[in-house]
Structure 1
Amino acid sequence: MSTPPSGRPRRRRARLLAAALVAATAVPLLAACSQPVPFDPAPDAADADCASVVVRLPDQVAGLDARETTAQGTGAWGSPAAVLLRCGVEPPGPTTLRCVSVDDVDWIIDESDAPTYRFVTYGRTPAVEVVVDNDAVAGSTAIADLSGAVAAIPADGGCTDLEELAPATGEATDAG
Structure 2
Amino acid sequence: MPRRHAALATLLAVPVLTATLLTLTGCAPTVSLDAAADSNDPGCAEISVRLPDTVADKAERETNAQATGAWGDPAAVLLRCGVPPIGATTKPCITVNGIDWVLMTDLDKDPTAKTLVYQTFGRTPATQVVIDHVSGASDAAVLPEFASAIATIPQTRKCLSTLDTGATPTPAPTK
- Which residue is 1:11 aligned to? none
- Which residue is 1:131 aligned to? 130
For residue 28 of structure 1, report the CA deviation from its aligned partner: 6.0
2:63 corresponds to 1:69: yes
SS at structure 2 position matched to 1:118: strand
- Supply the distance in 2 between the matched residues of 1:46 and 1:119 (Cα, whole angstroms): 21
- Which residue is 1:10 aligned to? none
Count of matched residue pairs: 147
What is the TM-score with the length of structure 2 in the denominator? 0.77
- Supply the distance in 2 between the matched residues of 1:141 and 1:77 (Cα, whole angstroms): 13
Q: How does 1:75-86 map to 2 (within 5 A)?
A: 75-86=69-80
For residue 139 of structure 1, report the CA deviation from its aligned partner: 1.8
For residue 167 of structure 1, report the CA deviation from its aligned partner: 7.2
Amino acid at match of 1:38: S
- Supply the distance in 1 between the matched residues of 2:30 and 2:83 (Cα, whole angstroms): 21
Structure 1, unaligned stretches of length 5 or more?
1-18, 169-176
For residue 111 of structure 1, report the CA deviation from its aligned partner: 3.1
For residue 36 of structure 1, report the CA deviation from its aligned partner: 1.1
- Which residue is 1:3 aligned to? none
Amino acid at match of 2:26: A
What is the TM-score with the length of structure 1 in the denominator? 0.77
Amino acid at match of 1:161: S
Amino acid at match of 2:162: L
Match of 1:43 among 34, 37, 47: 37
- Supply the distance in 1 between the matched residues of 2:27 and 2:105 (Cα, whole angstroms): 33
- Which residue is 1:161 aligned to? 161
Structure 2, unaligned stretches of length 5 or more?
1-13, 169-175
For residue 62 of structure 1, report the CA deviation from its aligned partner: 0.4
Amino acid at match of 2:114: P
User: What root-mean-square deviation, in Å, do the aligned CA atoms of Structure 1 and Structure 2 show?
Assistant: 2.1
Q: Could you tell which deviates more after superposition, 144-153 or 108-117?
A: 108-117
- Which residue is 1:97 aligned to? 91
For residue 29 of structure 1, report the CA deviation from its aligned partner: 4.7
- Structure 1 residues 167 and 65: CA distance shift in structure 2, 3 A: closer
Identical aligned residues as a percent: 41
- Which residue is 2:148 aligned to? 148
SS at structure 2 position matched to 1:135: helix
SS at structure 1 position matched to 2:80: strand
